[in-house]
Amino acid sequence: MTADPSFLAAARSRYGVEPVASARAPGRVNLIGDHIDYCGGTVLPVALDLCCHAAVFPKQTTPDACLISTTLDDRTASIPLDRPLIPGDPFPVGSWASYAAGVLAGLAGIAPLDALAGCRVYIHSDVPPGAGLSSSAAMEVAIARAAAHTCNIPIDGLNLARLCQSAEHAFAGVPCGLMDQAAAVLARPGSALAFDCAAETHTHVPLPERLELLVIDSGVRHALADGAYAERRRWCERASLALGATYLAHADASDLSTLDSQAARAARHVTSEHRRTLDAIAALRACDLPAFGRLLSTSHASLRDVYQVSCPEVDSLVEALQSTKGVLGARMSGGGFGGCVIAAIDTKLVDRSLLIRSQRSQHAVALRAKVTGITP
């Protein structure tokens, strides 16, 4: 997936030469199935038309390093390629440059990166960071694709997604599941990606034409590397161990009396969210939009009350949407603690422009009049 022509034109103007490789990867919004990808659950993301773009320009810097530049605050980082890259050296774990370093470390484990030495990688992303739209996964996949093309490394599909996931684990300190990277690699226009995180298999679920999706940025920013996300994952690990389950999403949660309170919360949310996601897939296939909307709203209640990953600003936004005529359901989306809200709208019940005006939102980041409106 090559970068957008307008991005390439701006990049050529900046550096005065043609790039040797370019790529892009989309952000995503998860329709339902949050915090279950790392528990073997099934998730249902959709690719957005917001993307991260990367272009590799020929040798312009020191021969033993790769210079990464991003339009986000005009940041630049020099990544050494003359020695093995390890987490925390030379970039702090969780810093923006650590994501790029982790991806290059993964590629270097497959084949030499000699062709990348001395090059400059230029990055621009439309995906707002910290909004729960997988800006980090989009950047990882875009860099990986561009660097792999430069170095003639044949990697794509789930292997590429796994490499980027490993980079985020080790170098960014975020123990994420595979959903975000898989969505950035596998999602198709016009469909949601039903991704089974246990079997690592997927199907594409067409979105009904009557369904519109409104994604609203709450304006509250999160940083998953700060620890709350990792803490929830530890809850799940304790629950899986106590229940004797390989994957918590598939566990029998009928008796949680032996679990501590946090592990019990994890088991209740994960097992019920997995069932809701399967039901949501069935509802979309049957074009049962009211049922789909109810599942979204029930999912938010679980994320808010059971798993405790929402926040007051997001809850207020969800409640306002749920009480608006024509909105089938609404929920937080992403890792939580801020970020975005997704609402499902039936176009037969409401005009979306009227809905947006009624909400007076200043944070709409993605709206589709048709399915392709939020997909690459």
Q: How far is CA 208 from the centre of its chain?
A: 23
Query: Helix, strand, coil: what percent of the chain each, to 5?
Result: 45, 20, 35
In sequence order, the 6+-apart residues with CB closer than 8 A to the CB of 371 are 189, 190, 191, 207, 209
Give which of 231, 224, 36, 42 is closest to 131, Cα–Cα. Answer: 224
Strand order in the sheet with 75-80: 21-30, 45-57, 120-125, 65-70, 75-80
226 assigned to active site: no
Query: In what helix (H) or strand (E) does residue 300 lie, and over which residues does it extend?
Result: helix 289-301
Q: Establish whether the linkage from the previous residue to 92 is cis, with ω within 30° of 0.
A: no
130: left (phi over 0), alpha (psi -120 to 50) or beta: left
Give which of 359, 297, 219 is closest to 31, Cα–Cα. Answer: 297
In sequence order, the 6+-apart residues with CB closer than 8 A to the CB of 219 are 313, 363
Q: What are phi and psi of 213, to 5 degrees?
A: -120, 125
Give which of 66, 276, 39, 28 is closest to 161, Cα–Cα. Answer: 28
Round to whole Å and give the CA distance between 196 and 203: 9
Q: Which one from 34, 126, 180, 315 is the annotated catalytic residue?
A: 180
Active site residues: 180
